Each structure stands twice: as C-alpha cells, then as structure tokens.
Structure 1
Amino acid sequence: MPKVLVPLAQGCEELEAVTIIDLLRRAEIEVVTAALTDAPVTASRGTVLLADTTLDAVLDQDFDLIVLPGGLPGAQYLEEDPRLRTMLQRQQSAGRFVAAICAAPKVLASAGLLDGKTATSYPGAIQAADYPQVNFVSAPVVVDGLVVTSRGPGTAMDFALQLIESLLGRARREQVESDLVREV
C-alpha cells in the first residue's frame, strides 16, 4: 500500500487538505498528516485540524508521495520550512512523487523541483517571471513525470483523484470516483 505525507501548516486551505486526505484514504492509501508544529492546525477558514503527528516525527521516513495543500498563509509557511524543503528534494532525488495545489506549487518551484517541468497553480500565486525555467499553464491538473500540480479549491477533487491514479492506476481511481456518485 502506498504511503503519503500531507504536511499541514497554519492557514492551509481546509477544503484542499481534507479532500486530499479523504479521497486518498477512500482508495486505501496510508495517509500521514504532519503538522509543522505540535499545535492543532487552524486552517484558512477557521477549521481546526488535528494532524496525526508532527513533521519532526516523520523527517526520516520514506513516502511514495508528499502532497502539499495550498492556502495562505499555509503555503508560505511550507515554503519557509527548511525541513520540508529537504524532504521534498530528497523525495525527488529518490524518484518518488511530489504534488501541490493552489499556492503550494510555489513551494516546489522555490525548491527547484519544477525546473524544466510544466505546472499549474492558483492564478497569481506564482509570478512566472520569477521562475523562467518552469512552463506554467492554466490547466486544472497537470502531471509532468513524478510531479502533479493543481489550481485550487475547485480542482481539489480532480487533483486527489489524479493522485490516486498516479499511485494505484486508472481502475482504482474510477472505483473511488464511482463511489462518490460524481457527475462530470
């Protein structure tokens, strides 16, 4: 079973975080939520999230995917955390998936993980001129090799379903999606 890390920072976008966690768990993927500190996480709309553990407790663990929810100031805190930057760079060096949604693709860009890649993010969250080595597009979800990015809260379900497909294949994604009774 794949193992996924979802770091949670104060001010994260709860719709994105909870959708990712929920759908991946529906696919029977092991999801570990880790707060940057040992305090409960108050998301951007005031929802309080209790992480499974802290980032310090999982620093040396390997994950098949590290996925970053967006939101502000959550994405800023993720970007400023040197522990997470090290984990993300180690993840890419090991040939494992990284993913980010909304403002969080900036975390990947600033760590150099989007160099030479095509990616997307929340409109205006990243100034493309600051990252000329990245091809930014406005698609809802973009997969480029082992990097998956997405636009924002409205694309969170599509993003999470793509993560399931990337980890477990199209059939598992379709099964989870079917159970959601989703009309697309």
Structure 2
Amino acid sequence: MKKTYLFLADGFEEVEALATVDLLRRAGVEVETVSINKTLAVRGAHGIEVAADTMLADCEPEARMLICPGGMPGASNLAANARVCELLSAQHERGGKIAAICAAPAVVLAPLGIIDGYDATCYPGFEEGLAAGGARHKNQRVVVDRDVITANGPSSAIPFALSIIKALDSQAKADEVAAGLLL
C-alpha cells in the first residue's frame, strides 16, 4: 500500500504536525514524517526538535496522501522546496489526496494551483493567498473539497486529523479514534 507522508520543515507548527501523526497512527494509517532538511532533525516553530522518519529524497513518487502542516516559517520553507512542490503537483494531477493546515493552504497549495476552484480554509490573515490561488475561503475549522482537506490552525489539528482518517479509512475508524481520545 502507498504511504502517507507528512512534510516537516524548520518552523513547522508542532501541534498540527504531531497531533496529526499521532491520530493517524492510532487509526493504523502508515504515515511517515519527512524532513526537507539535510538531516532527519527538524525544529518546530516553538523550538521543539523532532527526528523525522525519512528524508525527502527517499519518498516514493506516488503517495496515498501528502500532508502539509502550517507554522511560520515552516509553510514558507515547504513552499520554497522544489521537490515538495513537485510531489504535491504530481499528487494533485493524478487526483491524489492532499491535506494542509494553518498557513499551508495559502502559502503552499494556492501558488501551485492545487486549490483553484476549491473551497478551502486557512489561518486568519492568509485569506488573500487563498483567493490569489483561486480558492473560495470558507470560515470553517476544516473544509473537505474533493481530494483536498484544509484546516485553519492549531486548535483544529484534531478535527483535521479525524477528517484525514475518514478520507483514508472510514467515518467508523475516525469515530473509534475520537472515542479513544474521549471526544
């Protein structure tokens, strides 16, 4: 089965990345964190350093889903990485699943044309980036439109992850994980 990849760049939002990985693994989703740095070590926006599971160069060209956490300058660092942009564009072109949260929908997905004509959300203050990429901003915590899931920020990390679980598995699996979290 294809892997799900969550990209990590220096300055990533820790809550968004780690809560998402945690919930996906609870659901049995094979998800790997991917460092875009020269080493596996990646430092989050709030100084938390994590060791990614794999390097960007080792990602398979086709994935089950690609996930971009937000945070600044994490989202900008993802957008500046040609390989990340190439993988995201190819994933979108073949109708593959993509998820992004916080600034990432506006900073990473929108400039690539991935959300052109889609409903999407993002962190407050980044709405112009969505519009520039042709997306329709929805003032919601999580927006699912076709093959793309977007969320607005750290407090939406758990509903974001549950939406990903639903997209990759089922509502029943998302409900099971939510129950285990006492939601």
Classify 1:129/1:162 alpha carbon distance in 2 versus 1 (closer, same or farther; 3 Å).
closer
Classify 1:181/1:13 alpha carbon distance in 2 versus 1 (closer, same or farther; 3 Å).
same
131-140 vs 63-72, which moves further: 131-140
Tell me the distance in 2 between the aligned counterparts of 1:112 and 1:146.
Answer: 14
Corresponding residue number in structure 1 for 2:161: 160
Determine if contact 2:19/2:157 at 8 Å carries over to the other structure.
Answer: yes
Letter of the 1:19 counterpart: A
Corresponding residue number in structure 1 for 2:135: 134
Corresponding residue number in structure 2 for 1:7: 7
Determine if contact 1:99/1:148 at 8 Å carries over to the other structure.
Answer: yes
Corresponding residue number in structure 2 for 1:117: 118
Instruction: Give 5+ residue unaligned stretches, structure 1.
Output: none
Determine if contact 1:2/1:29 at 8 Å carries over to the other structure.
Answer: no
Structure 2 residue matching 1:70: 3-state secondary structure: coil
Does 1:47 pair with 2:67? no
Tell me the distance in 2 between the aligned counterparts of 1:129 and 1:8.
Answer: 21
Tell me the distance in 2 between the aligned counterparts of 1:63 and 1:126.
Answer: 28
Identity within the alignment, %: 39
Tell me the distance in 1 between the aligned counterparts of 2:52 and 2:14.
Answer: 12
Classify 1:129/1:56 alpha carbon distance in 2 versus 1 (closer, same or farther; 3 Å).
closer
User: CA offsets, 1:12-51, max 9 Å, x none?
Assistant: 0001000010000000000111100133111011100100
Alignment size in residue pairs? 181
Tell me the distance in 1 between the aligned counterparts of 2:57 and 2:126.
Answer: 27
User: CA offsets, 1:85-140, max 9 Å, x none?
Assistant: 11001101111100100001020101100001010000012415851621011100
Corresponding residue number in structure 2 for 1:148: 149
Q: 1:75-114 residue pairs with structure 2 within 5 A?
A: 75-106=75-106, 107-114=108-115
Letter of the 1:170 counterpart: Q
Instruction: Note the C-alpha offset of 1:2.
Output: 5.9
Corresponding residue number in structure 1 for 2:36: 36
Instruction: Give 5+ residue unaligned stretches, structure 2.
Output: none
Tell me the distance in 2 between the aligned counterparts of 1:130 and 1:139.
Answer: 16
The TM-score normalised by the length of structure 2 is: 0.94
Letter of the 2:151 counterpart: S
Structure 2 residue matching 1:121: 3-state secondary structure: coil
Please report the RMSD computed on the Cα atoms of aligned residues, expressed in angstroms.
1.4
Determine if contact 1:21/1:31 at 8 Å carries over to the other structure.
Answer: yes
Does 1:69 pair with 2:93? no
Structure 2 residue matching 1:99: 3-state secondary structure: strand
Tell me the distance in 1 between the aligned counterparts of 2:118 and 2:145.
Answer: 6
